[in-house]
Structure 1
Amino acid sequence: MGKLIGLDKVVMDADVFAICVQHALSIEKQEIMGVLMGEVDETECTSRIKAVRILNRSDKHADRVEISPNQLVLAVDTAEQLEDTFGKPLKVLGWYHSHPHITVDPSGIDVNTQAGYQVMSIYFIGLIFSVFNIDSATKKNKIHLTCFQASGHLRKDVELVIQSVPLRLHTLREIAGLPDILVREEEETCESNAEQDELAILHNDTLKTIKLVQIVSNLTRRISDDLEERSTTVSQRIKILEKMKRELQNDLQSL
């Protein structure tokens, strides 16, 4: 397979990677998707992913997902608004979606979709998270990830490097806003069924209530616990740094 001119590597900030994984694990029976934003290092032929935008799905399917033009426009606006955070406006440089219960390999539709996005930029990349795969030996959920581009009608793997960074405010807001997005999706689904008979409406309202409870119990609580652990870790690091500062000040005074 020939080399795709323009892109050699993708460097993704760890906080972006964390929210993509959290998003992929939020729904087991349908694919999820989001948009990746960052900057291009043309000297090193590298896409540097700095932020993420979780998208509201208008269509929910177990085997496919797509980004509407309106959602891409919103993602572009979000990227430009992040100028204050990063000191420069970012670009939309990729998309990600999940493969629940199936392999991480992109389908023919995934490759064709990626090829269409690469018309916008040769640095545009795709990520797929294969989730909810139980290892028969350990009985634990295994997560697989692939980073790819399209080369003709074929997939081309791209090196992905995860870069350690602190949790940024934008990413924190995206994580905290994920339950709201899922709730909004359920409400929109119910609104689309508003013209059904009373029995169907009652049935759908019951399903909606069950799904909202699942969002709160399975996702909101998990996000809250994760952020609580992050807060505890940060507090511990602050105490260590304060101790080091006092020791250094004492050393200076003794000189």
Structure 2
Amino acid sequence: MKMVPDKYLKKVILSSDVFAVCIQHALTTEKQEIMGLLIGEVDEEACVSQVTACVILHRSDKQPDRVEISPEQLCRASMHAEQLAVTLKKPMRVVGWYHSHPHITVWPSHVDIRTQSTYQMMDPLFVGLIFSVYHTDQRIRSNQIQLTCFQAHQRNSELERREVQLIIENSPLQGYNLEGIANLPKILVQEEVESHSVKDNETIDPVARLHNDAFKTVALVHIVSKVSRPMCDDLVERLNVTNWRIKELEALKKELLDS
């Protein structure tokens, strides 16, 4: 009996606005990993995935070397995909996940590969993206933004990574992805408030409470100064460029009509 090869993903087409959102998310912290889910369409016959949106996940446990997706978050992302399917009038689903490696190489760890393998049990075309934005190359003494696209592959009873071809496709910033960027500071604030909150059954002396509140304040100020303000400046510049382009096109239209 001839063995039928396992189904695997051959190519991923990533919209440039989703790439921008993921990079923006990865740059928010160099101390912990961040994570989100990718939404798009999959051509089952060609085994090609088209990623057009993403969902930024709320981290209940912030760690420098691991992240996890809860079933509730996966369910919420699936609901978001269904809403997008109605808006865009085409089938949309959760097609993958992304996370960051702040100060290490972009290659997936054994934990990442095992996690990816678990997702592929539910969907063999599920894909993983890893962004490395703070890893310094000592040879050139500068930071480089790196990205890898992978799936898990089992060879001789051992799990390995299998790189998947990735194409970043130029696209305008869509409203649903703009909304994701705008909600990022709110998610970060919620994470900090929860991480510094005191449980009802937990006793804490006044000095420790003051110390905890001080750290929370510093973290919130950092979000405003290092995330929210630069993000607003970037969006204002995008708006200025768009308005300039509109005026340029209107002038060209008038010139063509007058000729």
With structure 1 as the length reference, what TM-score do the two structures score? 0.93
1:106·1:155 contact (CA, 8 Å) conserved in 2? yes
Aligned to 2:239, the other structure's residue is in SS state helix
The reply to whether residue 8 of structure 1 matches residue 14 of structure 2 is: no
Equivalent position SS for 2:244: helix
1:163 corresponding residue in structure 2 = 169
CA distance, structure 2, for counterparts of residue 244 and residue 192 of structure 1: 61
Q: How many angstroms does 1:235 deviate by? A: 1.1
Query: Equivalents in 1 of 2:12, 2:146: separation in Å?
Result: 17
Alignment partner of 1:57: what SS? coil
Q: Distance in 1 between matches of 2:44 and 2:52?
A: 16
8 Å CA contact 1:81–1:89 kept in 2: the answer is: no
Alignment match of 1:96 (pick from 98, 105, 108):
98
* Alpha-carbon distance in structure 2 between the residues aligned to 1:11 and 1:133: 25
Partner of 2:81: 79
Q: Which residue in the other structure is 1:60 paired with? A: 62
Corresponding residue of 2:254: 246
CA RMSD of the aligned region, Å?
1.5
1:39: how far off? 0.4
Residues 243, 137 of structure 1: alpha-carbon distance in 2 compared, 3 angstrom cutoff: farther
Q: Does 1:183 align with 2:189?
A: yes
Change (3 A) 1:137 1:150: closer
| Aligned match of 1:232 | 240
Structure 2, unaligned stretches of length 5 or more? none
Moved more, 10-19 or 138-147: 138-147
Can you list the C-alpha shifts for 1:71-124, whole angstroms capped at 9, x where unaligned?
A: 100100010011243212410000000001101110000000000011121111
- Between stretches 13-22 and 88-97, larger displacement belongs to 88-97
Which position in structure 1 is the counterpart of 2:213? 205
Q: Is the Cα–Cα contact under 8 Å of residues 106 and 128 in structure 1 kept in the other structure?
A: yes
Aligned to 2:41: 39
Deviation at 1:192, TM superposition (A): 4.3
**Cα distance, 1:56–1:192 mapped onto 2, change above 3 Å:** farther
CA distance in 2, matches of 1:4, 1:220: 45
Gaps of 5+ in 1: none
Partner Cα separation in structure 1 for residue 225 and residue 250 of structure 2: 37
Partner SS state of residue 42, structure 2? strand
Matches of 1:235 and 1:44 in 2, distance apart?
39
Paired with 2:138 and 2:241, the residues of 1 have a C-alpha distance of 33
Kept in 2, the 8 Å contact 1:126–1:149? The answer is yes
Structure 2 CA distance for aligned equivalents of residues 178 and 248 of structure 1: 43
Aligned length: 249
Partners of 1:164 and 1:79 lie apart in 2 by 21
Q: Following TM superposition, by how much is the alpha carbon of 1:136 offset from its aligned partner in structure 2, in angstroms?
A: 4.1
TM score, norm. by length of structure 2: 0.92
Alpha-carbon separation, structure 1, partners of 2:97 and 2:230: 24
C-alpha displacement of 1:133: 2.0
1:172 and 2:174 aligned: no
Query: Residue 96 of structure 2 contacts residue 126 of structure 2 at CA under 8 Å; is this kept in 1?
Result: yes
The alpha carbon displacement at 1:140 in A equals 3.6
Please say which of residues 119-128 and 194-203 is displaced more in the overlay: 194-203
CA deviation profile, 1:184-228 (whole Å, cap 9, x unmatched): 001111224562222211111000000000000000011111111
Q: Distance in 1 between matches of 2:162 and 2:6?
A: 8
Report deviation, 1:166. Answer: 0.7
CA distance in 1, matches of 2:45, 2:125: 13
Give the Cα–Cα distance (whole angstroms) in 1 for the partners of residues 30 and 127 of structure 2.
24
- Higher mean C-alpha deviation, range 224-233 or range 179-188: 224-233
- CA–CA distance in 2 between the matches of 1:209 and 1:247? 56
